[in-house]
Chain A
């Protein structure tokens, strides 16, 4: 053994060395690209875009694209927060109705007290952050899975939304607040339109992209982002090296609360009134968008860009079916197909990345 190795090592260690090194570098670049969580969603987004571009002529117009982006943005803002939470290893099933809760709180408080709508907006923010805080504390204190804890808060919020609204207004919808003080100002923040390159775009699209940029920066460039990955990837290891896991999870639930507040405010100032029964079922769309975007259900892996792409695919499918003059009932069928394909692609990509 030894005597065969020694001469080989002694003669030419210089010339062959750079060759495998460069090959290793190329392979690692390809692997690094494949290892990005959102690569599957990117491929899917391009595929869906091309598909509807071909089958639905209306889809090609700039106005239609703005509508797609608007659809994507209201779901996408929530999907961003939900995907951060999922990377942190938890679910929030109450996210869908929490949007409605926030809008109801702002609307009814302003109307009943006839104050400036901004008072309602601020109180709604506190309510939403409070819901997130309670979800987080329940999770930490009970040690129950977040699936159960937030299922409970989902049911409670759903019931409370209807019960409280009926109690205060005698109706299942809130009174319109568009003649109240501060309405126009709040509308300009949450529900106005801006012209970008000659196309009217809802302001939520800009907020969505801004939030996505912030989320990406936080995830990849800050301490807190590191803690999110660690809390979801291996809670015990993270705790053992001094990461404040509980604090991280509570903060993530409160981030979902913040997003629910923001989207709730958009709905309120877009439609002036809120239907108390809305929002049920949306929590799954947020989770699906996050999963299509490359988030692992088990936590510790995913990206904000992925969530953006996931929501974008949702928007394209949602509107694309309309533009193609199909029955909108096909939407859910498509979402199911997308979910299946996305998870398969993600699985395949991760296997490729893991293979060395």
Chain B
């Protein structure tokens, strides 16, 4: 709770999480190199990239599942080396994964407190404080604007967007200062994506630093304050919102040069009208 307060007052521009020249090797394969990333309170940092660009590796390092091989990982200015997700959580860095945020067959309130259950009573009879957990779950969900009529229903019966939102509310409740969202909108329809984007904005309002992983530049541009585009394990673009337009971002994401090449190839296939395709921007942004 203390951490939440400091985060809320954090008009300070000090980054909570900072990566400096971070790299990662899997055997001889270089998955990441030279990554710089700042996550500040009350700001949404978007990490974009195609499949295999290194987004997952980057997230795994920040969330404590993997360790970096090069560079520095700083939390509150102090270098850290996290050996498991629990350590990251203790530092206030919480991850909401795309498909493994929740246990589908368990009730909403049990999911909300899973791994951090509230208990009461002395040891041999120490038991779950069900009343308090249900009440807190309801309150925290309402605070995020999520209204469920039955907290006993298995979380698997909720829609994808609602499930992500419960996971976000959960992370916020447990004192997260930095929220890592791994492709929260990837498997969702337009409306459900909107629901999740709303909660990302709500988390930012509450003073959290958000790392929003996505390959959808439109979703990123709706809520993002800073954009980092990854390509082949390196940063291709690292720009603040005011320095980049949606068009440039889209182009970087689609890979401007590659797109031009693809267009050239398509021109040789009969039946594809290349003139209709949009023009690629060659040297944008940074």
Given the interface pairs A223-B119, A226-B117, the reply to whether A237 lies near B102 with Cβ below 8 Å is yes
Tell me the bound Cα distance from A217 to B126 in angstroms: 11
In the assembled complex, how far is the CB of residue B198 from the closest CB belonging to chain A, in whole angstroms?
A: 20
Given the interface pairs A222-B128, A223-B128, A300-B105, the reply to whether A24 lies near B115 with Cβ below 8 Å is no
Tell me the bound Cα distance from A286 to B119 in angstroms: 32
Contact flags (1/0) for B96-128 with A, using CB distance below 8 Å?
010011111110001001111101000000111
- B128 and A230 within 8 A (CB): no
With both beta carbons as reference points, the residue of chain B lying nearest to A28 in the complex is identified as B150
- B85 and A32 within 8 A (CB): no
- A243 and B106 within 8 A (CB): no
Which residues of A197-237 have CB atoms within 8 Å of chain B's CB atoms?
217, 221-223, 225-226, 229-230, 233-234, 236-237
- A237 and B117 within 8 A (CB): no
- Measured between beta carbons, the chain B residues less than 8 angstroms from A217 are 127
Most buried by A among B86, B114, B130: B114
Tell me the bound Cα distance from A269 to B126 in angstroms: 35
The verdict on A8 contacting chain B, using a C-beta distance below 8 Å, is: no
Tell me the bound Cα distance from A35 to B152 in angstroms: 11
- Measured between beta carbons, the chain B residues less than 8 angstroms from A242 are 85-86, 89, 115-116
Interface pairs (29), CB distance under 8 Å = A28-B149, A28-B150, A35-B154, A217-B127, A222-B119, A222-B127, A223-B117, A223-B128, A226-B106, A226-B114, A229-B103, A229-B106, A230-B103, A230-B106, A233-B105, A234-B100, A234-B102, A237-B103, A238-B115, A240-B95, A240-B97, A240-B101, A241-B114, A241-B116, A242-B85, A242-B116, A300-B103, A300-B105, A354-B157
B residues apposed to A, CB below 8 Å: 85-86, 89, 95, 97, 100-106, 110, 113-117, 119, 126-128, 130, 149-150, 152-154, 157
Supplied contacts A221-B127, A301-B105, A356-B157, 4 more A-B pairs, CB within 8 Å:
A230-B103, A234-B100, A234-B102, A237-B103
8 tightest A-B CB contacts, nearest first: A242-B115, A241-B115, A233-B103, A237-B100, A234-B103, A236-B100, A221-B127, A223-B117
